[in-house]
């Protein structure tokens, strides 16, 4: 069984970048008309780090083996069951099959050891050698797909996941990862089909529910997205992303209080979730609760010092509090970060607000 704690991730994995922002007015915003943009976190598939963990174990399918031996793969070791050398019907062919399978397992374990040592390219090479030795070994295809995806090679990763589903039609995580790859490629309907297939095989596969929720989110089917994220939270309790996206879906429905609760849940799981802190700050800001908003933006910047939006949001709060000198400082910092991150439009936005705030700060009071 795949341990649920292996399903928690952070970072840009299986992403469909989609940032929801409102362009600031050319005039200095006021609390009456200003609404702060809610930041959509890059979509994160929980799928890719299943083997990329300190305690790495091969992923084995649950369906019966089509070969004469049945595999029971354990971390960095293996055991073949059902082989009886005294049974005369085996003969040379079954001995060769056994030898081929053992060679494939050796390569599979070498690949997992390479991942544990941080050698992704060596892992990819080893998994390919395992497949060359035995193309029916579904875990070799699957782990190759995970390694390729981690290396940023999406199309080869998708091909590997597909081969895993062909080698074992009951291998639920392979279908789920293939769906995740299609999600990244914006093939939403086919992604949904593969994700639903994975859930038919294993209804408790948390990351499949999560990725299906992302599909529904992109399709603006908020009720279905909410249902999927709730199931993902049930089966992947250590992952903050389902709670975060649950909050985003609630916001789309105008259910602000439920959104706040969901963002708070994401933060409870991962206190360093900068985007969740930011969106809480945005909600507080739009409700006119500027001190609470400032605290949330500060926390967001604290956990991610390069998160330009957190400084931008803090600047807007300082304007409302008429603390113009503080606003100037954070707008400067936000502008410089946007420039460094090649976000030219938001660098311009920050520069405009910076100039207007400097003018306010220089006025005699």
Residue 365 pLDDT level (bands cut at 50, 70, 90):
low
Give 128-132 contacts, CB < 8 A, sequence gap 24+.
Answer: 130/104, 130/105, 130/106, 131/104, 131/163
Give SS3 for 74.
Answer: strand
Q: List, for residues 274-316, the tens digit of each pLDDT value.
A: 999 999 999 999 999 999 999 999 999 999 999 999 999 999 9
Separation CA 154–CA 8 (nearest Å): 20
How many Cβ atoms are within 10 Å of 212's Cβ, its own excluded? Answer: 29
Return the HEC string of 217-249.
HHCCCHHHHHHHHHHHHHHCCCCCHHHHHHHHH
If you average pLDDT over residues 72-93, what whole number do you get? Answer: 32
Q: What backbone phi and psi angles, to 5 degrees, belong to 71? A: -90, 145
Give SS3 for 119.
Answer: coil
CA torsion through residues 71, 73, 78, 79, sign? negative
How many Cβ atoms are within 10 Å of 87's Cβ, its own excluded? Answer: 10
Separation CA 138–CA 142 (nearest Å): 6
With a cut of 90, say whether residue 204 has pLDDT above it. Answer: yes
Separation CA 119–CA 58 (nearest Å): 16
Q: What backbone phi and psi angles, to 5 degrees, belong to 18? A: -150, 105
- The two three-digit tokens of residue 302, written as one number: 């604290």
Residue 363 pLDDT level (bands cut at 50, 70, 90):
confident
Q: What backbone phi and psi angles, to 5 degrees, belong to 80? A: -95, 130
Give yes or no for a contact between 187 and 58, defined as CB atoms under 8 angstroms apart.
no
pLDDT of res. 41: 32
Q: List, for residues 230-252, the tens digit of each pLDDT value.
A: 999 999 999 999 999 999 999 99
Nearest to 210 by CA among 238, 181, 245: 245
- Domains detected in the chain: 1-44+271-365 (1.25.40.10)
Q: Which pTM does this prediction carry?
A: 0.73
């Amino acid at each position: 069984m795949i341990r649920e704690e292996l399903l928690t991730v952070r970072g840009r994995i299986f992403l469909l970048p989609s940032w929801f922002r409102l362009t600031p007015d050319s005039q200095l915003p006021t609390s009456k008309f200003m609404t702060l943009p809610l930041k959509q976190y890059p979509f994160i598939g929980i799928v890719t780090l299943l083997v990329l963990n300190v305690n790495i174990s091969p992923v084995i399918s649950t369906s019966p083996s089509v070969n004469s031996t049945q595999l029971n793969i354990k971390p960095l070791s293996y055991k073949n069951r059902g082989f009886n050398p005294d049974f005369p019907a085996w003969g040379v062919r079954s001995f060769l099959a056994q030898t081929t399978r053992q060679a494939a397992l050796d390569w599979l374990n070498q690949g997992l050891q390479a991942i544990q040592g941080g050698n992704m390219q060596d892992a990819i090479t080893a998994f390919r050698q395992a497949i060359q030795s035995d193309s029916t070994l579904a875990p070799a295809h699957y782990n190759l797909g995970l390694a390729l995806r981690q290396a940023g090679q999406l199309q080869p990763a998708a091909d590997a996941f597909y081969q895993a589903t062909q080698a074992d039609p009951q291998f639920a995580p392979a279908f789920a990862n293939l769906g995740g790859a299609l999600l990244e490629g914006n093939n939403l309907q086919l992604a949904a089909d593969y994700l639903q297939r994975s859930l038919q095989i294993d209804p408790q596969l948390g990351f499949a529910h999560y990725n299906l929720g992302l599909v529904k989110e992109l399709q603006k089917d908020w009720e279905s997205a909410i249902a999927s994220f709730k199931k993902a939270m049930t089966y992947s309790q250590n992952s903050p992303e389902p709670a975060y996206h649950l909050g985003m879906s609630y916001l789309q429905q105008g259910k602000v209080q439920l959104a706040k609760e969901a963002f708070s849940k994401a933060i409870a799981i991962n206190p360093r979730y900068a985007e969740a802190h930011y969106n809480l700050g945005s909600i507080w800001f739009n409700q006119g609760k500027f001190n609470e908003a400032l605290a949330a933006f500060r926390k967001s910047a604290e956990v991610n010092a390069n998160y330009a939006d957190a400084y931008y949001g803090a600047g807007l709060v300082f304007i409302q509090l008429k603390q113009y000198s503080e606003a100037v400082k954070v707008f400067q910092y936000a502008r410089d970060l946007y420039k460094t991150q090649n976000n030219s439009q938001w660098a311009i936005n920050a520069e405009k607000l910076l100039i207007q705030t400097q003018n306010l700060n220089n006025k005699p009071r």
